Amino acid sequence: MMRKIGRAISLGFLLVLVQPALAGEIDWIKDYKKGLAKAKATGKPMLVDFYTDW
């Protein structure tokens, strides 16, 4: 029983560590209108990242 729990926990940690490597690179869209159009077309939410150098 304890071995099964240990294996399950080990597998969980392995998946957490490997998943980001399998995800690939983020395709950032810098044009707001193009990003909004793509978000609407795919039905996915849009992340807007903005900042200033004040």
Q: pLDDT digit string (tens) for 1-54?
A: 788 888 888 888 777 776 666 667 777 899 999 999 999 999 999 988 888 898
List the domain boundaries for the chain.
2-42
| pLDDT at position 22 | 65
| pLDDT at position 26 | 76
Give the separation between CA 40 and CA 33, rounded to whole angstroms. 11
